[in-house]
Amino acid sequence: MRPIVLVLNGPNLNLLGTREPATYGHETLADISALCGRAAEEFGLAVEFRQTNHEGELLDWIHGARGRCAGILINPAAWTHTSVAIRDALVASELPVIEVHLSNVHAREPFRHHSFVSAIAQAVMCGFGSHGYRLALEHFSQRFKEQGA
Ligand code: DQA
């Protein structure tokens, strides 16, 4: 059985493609989902791709990953900078976490420079656009292979 990576996307990412294209590009969330599907095939993973605008729903998904998934790739979007609850849920999941942002948050407004997630993440990817999702999945795959070896 392929290890499952839960790919979680936070608020407003459903608007990708039309939302601030100068910052986030022209790809839609469906394009990124398809990219993750292709990467999963290539790297021998199973990906579950989700997006929500409701923080409690995201928390429920993180809780449900514990003991079922092998890792969590998360773009918490604006909740990155506000949510202790998401950080605590990720810790409680006891799963390796990779934080991904499309844009380089450090080159943007100061309020985007702090992340509640980064300190508990195994790795942080930002500024690579949608390629960051692929890089994160490749890293998970490599890590799982090493662990299985
Ligand atoms: C984002 C960066 C966040 O600061 C912002 O609130 C987002 C998207 C990114 O992918 O670059 O919604 O997470």
- State the DSSP code for 14: G
Q: With a threshold of 0.95, does the pTM exceed it? A: yes
- CA–CA distance, 149 with 147 (Å, rounded to integer): 5
- pLDDT tens for each residue of 29-71: 999 999 999 999 999 999 999 999 999 999 999 999 999 999 9
Tell me which amino acid residue 117 is: V
Superfamily designation of domain 4-148: Dehydroquinase, class II (3.40.50.9100)
Q: Is 137 annotated as a binding residue?
A: no
Say whether 73 counts as a known binding-site residue: no
CA–centroid distance, residue 147 to ligand 1 (Å): 31
**Scanning the structure block, which residue is given the tokens 């702090």?**
114
- Is 101 marked active-site? yes
Q: Are 8 and 65 in contact (CB under 8 A)?
A: no
Pocket test for ligand 1, best of 27, 55, 80, 100 (most atoms within 8 A of CB): 80
Q: How do the domains of the chain map onto residue ranges?
A: 4-148
Q: Are 87 and 117 in contact (CB under 8 A)?
A: yes
The three-state secondary structure class of 147 is helix
